[in-house]
Every structure is written in structure tokens, then in C-alpha cells.
A and B are shown apart, each in its own frame.
Chain A
Amino acid sequence: MVIKLQDVHKIYHTGEVDVHAVRGVSLEINKGEFVALMGASGSGKSTMMNVLGCLDRPSKGSYFLDGVDASKLDRDDLADIRNKKIGFVFQGFNLLARTSALENVELPMLYARQRIDGDTQRNRALKALEIVGLSDRADHTPNQLSGGQQQRVAIARGLANEPALLLADEPTGNLDTRTSIEIMGVFQKLNDQGITIVMVTHELDIAQYTKRMVVMRDGKIVSDTPVAKRLIAENELNRLQAEQKAAQLTG
């Protein structure tokens, strides 16, 4: 089991009002799952994302990540957990500007507690870039890459330390439909190789590419169902291409 949440609460003390963002969530995610965490804004899914990503600690309840109780760790230990066990993919890509793709991918290895020598870092980063299909862009800086390519670099960075969990926060939010499907294709490929992925999204059609949908509302899980009609990115891309061709012919 990769993730085990037990009755997790998160309360923010902002001024005089306490905001109860997460109200008792219990959830288990096994190795190899591909989960979409859904919900409208204010549903508590971002807070859940922060807790799952060890960026924040639950106010109450426990969180086991890959066998480690992450709910009682201090700042430094949380940093180490993030480094070792979690790969982040963000909506805004969050790559270091004016820094090559390769160096961006190397970043998590730089902060590894167990030192990784420069050559190993480079080789692993190149391998990660190869997995996302960007080995020929290793020397490019983010502003020389398209949005989809930047997100691929971010995914490669997420894979660098071989984490237990790939955590994606609206990874397609800044991308057009076609690129979004491509990125989902990358995720599906990674998932097929056994990587556990949790993706926060509010787009139902994007969630269709995952295997399991967890929907939150008002800080609670309201539904947790397997994806019935799962979309396969490859097929969708082919269909999109065919549609475009047809449009060209008729237009």
C-alpha cells in the first residue's frame, strides 16, 4: 500500500475564523494505481494535495506514505520524504527558469540525503528525459520549450529520485486539448510501468484517463469509483488526428 489516510482533518486558523478544509478523509491507494482526485474549488482537494505531497501536515488523523507515518514529521523530515518518495508535477510546470532541462531534472538528486555523484545524476536525468521523450531537448531552457515539453521535463524531474508516488496537481490546466492528451499519455505509460500516480483535477474528461476517481465536496469524499469507460491517450490522439483530417477535407 502506498497511501493510507485515516480520518484526516485539516483546519486552518486564519484570523478569527477557523477554516475546516478537510473533515475526516480516509483513503487507501495501492501500488500501481492511477487516481484522479476531483472536486470543485473549495472542496478541499488542494489541501488534500498538500497533505498527500507532505507539503503540509494534517491537523488530525494519520497519513502513512509508503509505510512511513508522515503526519508527525518535522519540516526537515518532510523535506526528506518529499525528496525520496514523491515526484511533483504542477499546473504551472514550476521549472527553474534559465536552467537547462537536464539540470532541472537533476534538481531533486541535488538535495538527496544520500549523495549522488555528478555522473550518476546526469545519467539518471537523461534516462528520465528519455522516458518522457525529451532526450533531444536536454540542453534547452524552459523558455525554449513548448508548454507540453515543459510539463514533460517536470514529469521527468518528478521521476528523478524514483519516488513511490507521482503527485500531479492539475497537470493539464495550462495546456491545450491535444497536448493535454499527450501528457495523459505519458502518465498512462508510466502507470503501465508500475508507477503510482495521484492526479488532482477538476476536468472530468481528463479524469477519464485515470483508473479511479475520488470526488471530494466540502472537505469530505463523496464518491470513490473505478473509471468505467477509461480513455486511452493513444486512441484519442489518433481519433483527434482523424477528425482534423476530416475537417481539412470537408473544409
Chain B
Amino acid sequence: MIYLAIVKIAFRALKRNKMRTVLTMLGIIIGVGAVIAMVALGRGAKAQVAARIAALGQNTLMIFSGSINRGGVFSGFGGAGTLTIEDALAIENEVPGVAAVSPEARFSGQLMFGNNNWSTEGRGEGVDYLSIRQWEIADGAMFTDADVRSAAKVCILGKTTADKLFPSMDPVGQTIRIKNVPMKVLGVLKAKGVSMMGSDQDDVVIAPYTTAMKRLAGVTTLRTINVQVASAGEIAEAQNGITELLRQRHRIQPGRDDDFFIRNPQEFLEAQNAAAETMTALLAGIAGVSLLVGGIGIMNIMLVSVTERTREIGIRMAVGARGRDILLQFLIEAVTLSSIGGLLGIGLGVGGAQMLTALKNWATQVSLDSVIIAFIFSAAVGIFFGFYPARKASQLDPIDALRYE
């Protein structure tokens, strides 16, 4: 028998019951659409996390001063004030694998220029800070080692801060005031966007850490030491080296707790990444269940169809159709149902994902492989759920089938 003819027969049978065909397909359409949209959503979330990892800078460690407990009241991290500039220098010089270090102190205060003023997060950093964070200057230049040594009254501005203070002019070369200290703006940073916590990373002013400590915050200890490790493989080693060095420098007895702690932001993001992956798997799983239900719908309709068309099967067998021909006819019908449903479902899924992005601003990423897999899976659903009814049809006895009313 010519396969083309079987396909034609299958199509004709599907066309005959248009409403039923469409309703049966709907199960697959929704199932495939849901799988594709959900996977796109999961991939989008993952891509976002990946972008954040890149934004953090590669292979970075952050060392925080520990918290302090005064009469049962804990200060926040950094409250102990145990990290010093010397600690930072020692880490840079003595710990193997450490590529760059930027001591960090925070300050706050109103930034003023002319009639404009803006309250932002002030950071005192080393000259390597930008390279550690993989951040670039858009305009002007970063301060230098000499500025750090002399606690020069200079700063660079984040994009947001620059826009607020200088709505209509170039900030580079201007002098702003922070806590009445005149600070010369050396440069403006490139926009970095929203952090993983949702804060605007560009709403910032960065000064040399020496300036921040002496002139702006009036502190003698560091809040944080930012460290960049040469390669991902050396992170653990560097972390151990830093711990050892700081315990030694801070004269902490064995068995006592550290008065600092080291955070590896990649770990945090990787956990977020894993969460995104779990979420994707969960959503895809739920969507997969609806695909399964769609498949059961196909099986149901095919069983009804076989019963309804028992006489037709009998006629075909009487004129010489083998069981295999009948099997193929119904199988092709089921696969046609499911794969056309799959194609429409792909359309729905892609459209749905784009709608989520357009309406809800959720990141989505439709990938070719998920589309291909969804299509193959929907065809497989047709084969799997179509096989039993088709087999049932093919095993009918021609005499009984012909007599069937």
C-alpha cells in the first residue's frame, strides 16, 4: 500500500470531524505551548543570573569585618571594625593566587553641585576596584595610586548620580561637595544596571578609600576588602590563604571564631542559578503533565474513532487491507493530530513567551532545541497514545467488523 494514500486517508478522516480534531489537538497545543513558554521563562531567568555573575566580576571574594556583640546586641557585618588597610596590603602581597585587592570603606552624605543635590551611596575604593568589578569609565579617568596615597579630594560618579547632579552638563572636571568637602569629579562610569538585589548599581559615588576614611567617614578600619583571584581554580586556595593570614594577623587563638568572614558571591549566584534551574524543571514538569493529558485525550478520541469506524475497518480488511495497513492508518491519524497540535503549540508557546516579556517584562528565552524537542515529543505522544487504539483496530476480526452496527 502506498504510504501517501494512507496519509491521505488519515487527513480525510481528520477533516471529517473538524470540531473533534481541533478539540483533541487543543490538549497537545496547550501542552506543548506550556512546555515551551515555561522553559523559555526558566532559560530567561538563568540568562539573567548569568548576566549578574558577569556583572559581579570574575573570581571575586569579599572579606567583611565580623560583627560585634556588645552586651547581647549584635552589630551588623563590618561593625567589629577588624579589617585594616594593612590587612588588605598583606593579602595582596602575601596570599598566593590573589591578583588584585581593593580596600573598601563606605561613607554617606549629600552630594551637592550648584542648585542640585543628591543622596547616594559613597564608596571608598582602591584603584583596582573597577577592574575587579569589570566596570569601565565612560568619560574621564579613574583616580590613581598617587590620589590614594595623598587622600586626594577626587571622585568618580555612577551614571545615575552623574545624571542627577549634572542634568545638562559634563561632570568631568567639575567640583562637587560632599559633607562640605569639595571633591573634583575625575570621571563617570558606564551604566551597570540593576543589581541582583534590585538596587541601582549606578547610584554611587566612588572616592579613594583613604579619602573616604579620613575626610568623609572619619573611620580607621575597612568595611570590606574586595579581592580578585587570578583563576576560578585558585579561589578555594586563596580563601584558605586569606583566612590563615588574617587569623594570624588578628592573633586569633585556634578554636576561636574568626573576626571576619569571606563571601564568595559566585556561590550565592550559583545557588540562585540552581534555584532557577529547579524552577524551570518544575514548570516544565507541570507543563509536561498537561502534554500527557493531551496525549490521553488523543488516545480517548482514537478509541472512539476506532469503534465508530469498525465497519469501515471491516470493509478495508475485506478488500484486502492487512492488519498493518489499518494500524498504520490509525497511527498516522494520531501522529498527525499530535504533530499538527505540536506545531500550533510551538506557535502558542513562542507567542506566549513574547507576551510575558512584553506585558510583564519577564525575561524569556525561546531556544531552538526546546522547540525541536517539544515537536519530537508531541509526535512521540501521538505514537505512544495512538498505538493502542490503532493496534486494537488492526486486530479486529473482519467478519465481526463487517457485521458491526
Per the bound structure, the CA–CA distance linking A53 and B320 in Å amounts to: 11
Check A76–B2 contact: CB distance below 8 A: no
| Contact yes or no, B5 A110, CB < 8 A | yes
**Cβ-based interface call for A108 (8 A):** yes
B378 CB, nearest partner CB in chain A, Å: 28
- Seed contacts A79-B322, A108-B320; 15 additional CB < 8 Å A-B pairs: A55-B318, A55-B399, A76-B324, A82-B319, A82-B320, A83-B321, A88-B318, A94-B311, A94-B314, A95-B315, A96-B315, A107-B319, A111-B316, A111-B319, A111-B325
- Flag if B399 contacts A112 (CB, 8 Å): no
- What residues on B are CB-neighbors of A76 within 8 Å? 322-324
Which A residues are in CB contact (< 8 Å) with B402? Answer: 55, 90, 94
CA A73 – CA B323 in complex, angstroms? 15
Task: Determine which residue in A53, A99, A107, A115 has the highest number of CB atoms from chain B within 10 A of its CB, and name it.
Answer: A107
- B368 CB-CB contact with A under 8 Å: no
Spell out A's residues near B (CB within 8 Å).
Answer: 50, 53, 55-56, 75-76, 79-80, 82-84, 88, 90, 94-99, 107-108, 110-112, 115, 157, 161
The yes or no answer to B398 lying at the interface (CB within 8 A) is yes
In the complex, which residue of chain A has the Cβ closest to the Cβ of B5? A110
Residues of B within 8 A of A55 (CB): 318, 398-399, 402
Q: Total A-B residue pairs with C-beta atoms closer than 8 Å?
A: 61
Contact across chains for B322 and A111 when beta carbons are under 8 A apart = yes
Establish whether residues B325 and A82, one from each chain, have CB atoms under 8 Å apart when the complex forms.
no
Shortest CB-to-CB span from B237 to chain A, Å, is 72
A94 cross-chain contacts in B, Cβ below 8 A: 311, 314-315, 318, 402
Q: Do A110 and B2 touch (CB < 8 A)?
A: yes
Pick the contact of B320 from A56, A112, A115 — CB < 8 Å?
A112
Residues of A within 8 A of B256 (CB): none
Tell me the B302-321 residues at the A interface (CB within 8 Å): 311-312, 314-321
Question: Whole-angstrom distance from the CB of A119 to the nearest CB of chain B?
Answer: 13
Q: Which residues of B contact A157 (CB under 8 A)?
A: 319
Q: Is the CB of A96 within 8 A of B319?
A: no
Task: State which of A75, A95, A161 has its C-beta within 8 Å of the C-beta of B323.
Answer: A75
Q: Chain B: which residue is nearest A99 at the CB level?
A: B12
Q: What 1/0 flags go to B384-405 for Cβ under 8 Å of A?
A: 0000000000000011001000
> A79: which B residues are within 8 A, CB to CB?
317, 320-323
Sorted from nearest, which 10 A-B pairs have the closest CB atoms?
A: A83-B320, A108-B319, A111-B320, A79-B322, A111-B321, A82-B320, A76-B322, A94-B315, A55-B399, A55-B398
How far is B314's CA from A110's CA once the two chains are assembled, in angstroms?
A: 15
User: In the complex, A96 Cα to B318 Cα: how many Å?
Assistant: 12
**Chain B: minimal CB distance from A93 (Å):** 10
Specify which chain A residues have a CB less than 8 angstroms from the CB of B317 in the assembled complex: 79, 82
- Residue B16 CB within 8 A of the other chain: yes
Within B195-251, the residues touching A (CB, 8 Å) are none
Give the docked Cα–Cα distance between A50 and B318 (Å): 10
Q: Which of A98, A111, A161 contacts B1 (CB 8 A)?
A: A111
Cα distance, A53 to B314, chains bound together (Å)? 13
In the bound complex, how far is the Cα of B317 from the Cα of A80, in angstroms?
10
> How far does the Cβ of A66 sit from chain B's closest Cβ, in whole Å?
15
Quote the shortest CB–CB distance from B105 to chain A (angstroms).
85
> What residues of A have a CB within 8 angstroms of the CB of B319 in the complex?
82-83, 88, 107-108, 111, 157
